[in-house]
Every structure is written in structure tokens, then in C-alpha cells.
């Protein structure tokens, strides 16, 4: 297992290019596989999570060339053209891949088993399986967790009207993917706004779909037509540099061609509420997704009560937002973030525990945290095998007064290959521990 060591000080500077968006990459592979014709993808994230999705599609008979420097060519088999896999589909550490594939395979009338690593095999899957069973799918879980078995059905799926109990793009997307093989219309009502990459991409592949005001409506049985997909830079990866620069006076960076889908920019809105100097430049649209350069000048941040409506728009960015909160004057509070407990780790406990070890006063509540800003000390923290926890505490070195050691950082490659090299290049004093 590899540990990271981060030495205090440093500034983030320069123009930074982060890898492609993981959410968009997963969906481009899945929809390209089910489309009729040849789909070309550029800018693909070549992280372990996305490679697991590609491997799964190949196991079901989809011919795919690449990835090669972010380029991928997918020879779609059309809906119903997937072959039954000969062995379990191993999704590694990727909850997104597993939950979306459960939906995609629910109506394919085949035997398939989805497995993952120890972390993924402890994560809840019934939240996806239950609405799909309502549609007519035959899905078994292991006491609510993987392995997940998808069994043949003697009938087709039916569209449903489903009210989501939690704001989750993964559950919503699983229902939409299952609806491709269903009769009737699926209507999904959300308690809060979630990322809409699935809706945009289904539209890009030729489907009619409507979404507005937290309601999505999608008619089943539509066919996907191959297209070209350009994956923008991942704002969840960019967030480590956005927040790191924002909280460090003297830092100045520009993140190039980052996806700024309005369902993903909560991290920018929250940092601006804390006083961050962030500007958006060169806005344009690429393959249906808004893209822009994000410019940050470092300053001293202030603690805030994070508005509830921004929580679902920044759910993956809370580990690094917790670091920003630790650097700020005053107290930062978040509520309504219980979804953080079922990510790659329990991110509420993981961040509270780590920050406390670095000398920050933190109060943990069931659905959030109260973080009292102060001076971060050096120390040893645990990543809980969670890539975002590992990267967040790496960035903390910018504002600490001693060396921080982060245990077990192997999973950083699942979402951000090359993170260590890029961070060092732009000013972070970090290395793999000897």
C-alpha cells in the first residue's frame, strides 16, 4: 500500500489540465455500447473505474478500440445485442459503474453478476434494486450489498412513476437506463437537483427526454443512435485545485476547459460564499455540455452555513470543501449530506477523524459536520481507501504547519490518474512515502 507525504507550504500556480469527467466517461461507454453504429469518444478518463466499465462491455460482446490518449471507438450492438457474460463483471471500486449497470442490464433478459472490491462490496445497492423491481426486474443482492445478481425475466419491464427519497443521480440514471428496454413512460421526481449527464447524453444519442424542476420524463423503447462524444475535464477533479488555490493566499491558477454543468458547480458556489476569488472565462458548449476555464486567486476564506440546496450539487466535492472549511475563519456547517456516509467511505466520519488528528475542532452529526477553522497541524491520517479523502488531505499540506502523512492512497488512480505528478508540477510539496 502506498502512503503520501505532504510537506507544509507551497503555492498552486499555472494553467492546469485535469483528466476527463468520470461521470460522462462512464455514460459514454454504456450508451455507445447500446447504440446502433460507431461511437467515437475523445477526452475519456482513463482511470481504473472507467476501465472497469470498458472491460464489462467487452465481456458482453462489445468491440471497443482503445482507450488511446483519451480516444475510444465503440462498435455498438444495439439494444438487446449484449451477450451473457461468462464470468462475474468486476466493477472494482466504482459505485457509479455498478449502479448504472444494474439499470442497464435489468431489462436485458440475461444472467449477470456484478462484483467489486472490498469497499464496493459493502456499499448499498437496494436503493437501486427496489425501483427496478417495481419495473419488473429480477435482481438479488447480498443483504443489500454486492454481489448483485441480475436474472432473466419472462416479461418486459414497465415504466414507473418514482419519487426519489434522496437526491441521487445514480438511482435516477439506473431507472432511465432500464427504461430504454421498458414499455411506457418513466417519470422520476427528485427532492433536489442532481447531475443531469444521463439526460443530456440520452438526448445526444437521439432520444426524446424532458427534464425540468426536479422531474424527468422518459418514454421507454427508444433506440440509441451512435454519435461523437467529447468528455470535458472533470470538475470533481478540478475541485482539489480550485479549493486549494482559493484557500491559499498567493496562489493563482487557471483550470482549462472544465465541465461547468450547472448541476455540478456547487463547489464553486460554496467557495464563493466563503469569499473565494473565482471567475469563469471562455464559456462554450461541447457536445451538449457547458465548458469553461476556471480562474482562482488565493485569499483568506470565511466559514459559512452551507445552503441545503447546494449540497446535492457538490456531494462529491465535500472532502476538499472540508479542508477549505478548516482553513477558514469561523465555523462552517453542512446539513442534509447523509449521502456522504455511503460513498467509497463514510466521508463524514473520515473527514471528521482526519481533521481532528490535524488539530481542527470538528463536530459530527448524522447528516453533516460543524468545522471550526484553525491552524492545521502535521500528523498521520487515514484515507479509508477512499481516493477523494486521500487527495483532499494531500491538498491540506498547503496550509499545514507540519508534515501530513496519508495512509493507503492506492485508490487515487480510480478517478484521477496522474494526480501526484500534476500536484507537484503546480506547487504542492507531496511525494509517495519511502
Q: Which CATH superfamily is domain 22-230 in?
A: Enolpyruvate transferase domain (3.65.10.10)
pLDDT of 302-311, one tens digit each?
999 999 999 9
How many other CB atoms are there within 10 angstroms of residue 124's CB atom? Answer: 16
For the chain, the domains span 4-20+232-432, 22-230
Give me the DSSP letters along 41-58: EES---SHHHHHHHHHHH
Alpha-carbon distance of 163 to 183, in angstroms, equals 19
Whether residue 359 contacts residue 379, with contact meaning beta carbons closer than 8 Å, is answered with: yes
Average pLDDT over residues 359-364: 98
**For the chain, how many residues are written?**
434
- For residue 1, what pLDDT is reported? 60
- Locus of grid cell 460507431: 38
Alpha-carbon distance of 186 to 192, in angstroms, equals 18
Which of 152, 112, 147, 125 has the alpha carbon at shortest distance from 136? 152
Whether residue 135 contacts residue 180, with contact meaning beta carbons closer than 8 Å, is answered with: no
Alpha-carbon distance of 430 to 411, in angstroms, equals 17
pLDDT at position 130 over 70: yes
Residue 402 is classified by DSSP as S
Alpha-carbon distance of 65 to 78, in angstroms, equals 17
Q: In 84-210, which residue ranges form alpha helices assigned H by DSSP?
A: 95-106, 126-134, 169-179, 197-204
Whether residue 15 contacts residue 227, with contact meaning beta carbons closer than 8 Å, is answered with: no
Alpha-carbon distance of 236 to 18, in angstroms, equals 10
CA angle 234/238/242 to nearest 5° reads: 150
CB half-sphere exposure, 132, CA atoms < 13 A: 36
Residue 434 binned pLDDT confidence (cut-offs 50, 70, 90): confident
- For residue 287, what pLDDT is reported? 78
pLDDT of 278-303, one tens digit each?
999 999 998 789 999 999 999 999 99
Which residues are annotated as catalytic? 316
- The pLDDT mean for the chain works out to 95
- For residue 156, what pLDDT is reported? 87
- For residue 414, what pLDDT is reported? 82
The secondary element (H helix, E strand) that includes residue 326 is helix 318-327
- Locus of grid cell 502512503: 3
Q: Which CATH architecture has domain 4-20+232-432?
A: Alpha-beta prism (3.65)
Q: Exposed, middle or buried by CB within 10 Å (0-12, 13-18, 19+), for 81?
A: middle
- Integer CA distances (angstroms), 371 to 57, 327, 365, in order: 43, 10, 11
Instruction: Tell me the whole-structure pTM to 2 decimals.
Output: 0.91
pLDDT of 179-188, one tens digit each?
999 999 999 9
pLDDT of 35-84, one tens digit each?
999 999 999 999 999 999 999 999 999 999 999 999 999 999 998 899 99
Residue 173 binned pLDDT confidence (cut-offs 50, 70, 90): very high
Residue 87 is classified by DSSP as S
Residue 155 binned pLDDT confidence (cut-offs 50, 70, 90): confident
- Locus of grid cell 449497470: 101
State phi, psi for 246 to the nearest 5 degrees.
-60, -35
Q: Which residues pair with 328 in a beta bridge?
A: none
Amino acid at each position: 500500500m502506498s502512503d503520501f507525504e505532504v510537506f507544509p507550504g507551497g503555492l498552486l500556480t499555472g494553467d492546469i489540465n485535469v483528466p476527463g469527467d468520470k461521470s460522462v466517461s462512464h455514460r459514454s461507454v454504456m450508451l455507445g455500447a447500446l447504440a446502433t453504429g460507431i461511437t467515437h469518444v475523445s477526452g475519456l478518463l482513463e482511470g481504473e473505474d472507467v476501465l472497469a466499465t470498458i472491460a464489462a462491455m467487452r465481456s458482453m460482446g462489445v468491440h471497443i478500440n482503445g482507450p488511446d490518449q483519451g480516444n475510444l471507438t465503440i462498435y455498438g450492438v444495439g439494444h438487446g445485442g449484449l451477450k451473457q457474460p461468462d464470468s462475474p463483471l468486476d466493477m472494482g471500486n466504482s459505485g457509479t459503474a455498478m449502479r448504472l449497470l444494474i439499470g442497464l442490464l435489468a431489462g436485458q433478459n440475461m444472467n449477470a453478476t456484478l462484483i467489486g472490491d472490498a469497499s464496493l462490496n459493502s456499499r448499498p445497492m437496494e436503493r437501486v434494486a427496489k425501483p427496478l423491481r417495481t419495473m419488473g426486474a429480477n435482481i438479488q443482492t447480498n443483504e443489500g450489498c454486492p454481489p448483485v445478481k441480475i436474472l432473466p425475466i419472462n416479461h418486459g419491464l414497465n415504466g414507473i412513476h418514482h419519487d426519489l427519497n434522496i437526491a441521487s443521480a445514480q438511482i435516477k440514471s439506473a431507472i432511465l437506463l432500464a427504461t430504454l428496454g421498458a414499455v411506457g413512460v418513466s417519470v422520476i421526481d427528485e427532492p433536489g437537483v442532481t447531475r443531469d449527464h444521463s439526460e443530456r447524453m440520452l438526448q445526444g444519442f437521439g432520444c426524446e427526454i424532458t427534464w425540468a424542476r426536479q422531474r424527468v420524463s422518459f418514454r421507454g423503447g427508444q433506440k440509441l443512435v451512435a454519435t461523437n462524444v467529447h468528455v470535458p475535464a472533470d470538475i470533481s477533479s478540478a475541485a482539489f485545485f480550485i479549493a486549494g488555490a482559493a484557500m491559499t493566499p498567493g496562489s493563482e491558477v487557471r483550470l482549462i476547459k472544465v465541465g461547468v454543468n450547472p448541476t455540478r458547480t456547487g463547489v464553486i458556489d460554496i467557495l464563493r460564499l466563503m469569499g473565494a476569488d473565482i471567475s469563469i472565462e471562455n464559456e462554450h458548449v461541447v457536445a451538449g455540455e457547458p465548458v469553461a476555464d476556471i480562474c482562482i486567486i488565493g485569499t483568506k476564506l470565511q466559514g459559512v452555513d452551507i445552503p441545503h440546496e447546494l449540497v446535492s450539487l457538490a456531494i462529491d466535492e465535500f472532502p476538499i470543501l472540508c479542508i477549505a472549511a478548516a482553513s477558514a475563519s469561523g465555523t462552517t456547517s453542512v446539513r442534509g449530506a447523509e449521502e456522504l456516509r455511503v460513498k467509497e467511505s463514510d466521508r463524514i466520519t473520515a473527514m471528521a477523524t482526519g481533521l481532528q488528528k490535524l488539530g481542527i475542532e470538528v463536530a459530527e452529526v448524522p447528516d453533516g459536520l460543524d468545522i471550526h477553522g484553525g491552524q492545521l497541524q502535521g500528523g498521520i491520517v487515514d484515507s479509508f481507501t477512499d481516493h477523494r479523502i486521500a487527495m483532499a488531505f494531500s491538498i491540506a499540506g498547503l496550509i499545514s504547519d507540519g508534515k501530513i502523512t496519508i495512509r493507503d492512497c492506492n485508490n487515487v488512480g480510480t478517478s484521477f490518474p496522474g494526480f501526484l505528478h500534476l500536484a507537484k508540477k503546480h506547487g504542492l510539496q507531496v511525494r509517495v512515502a519511502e
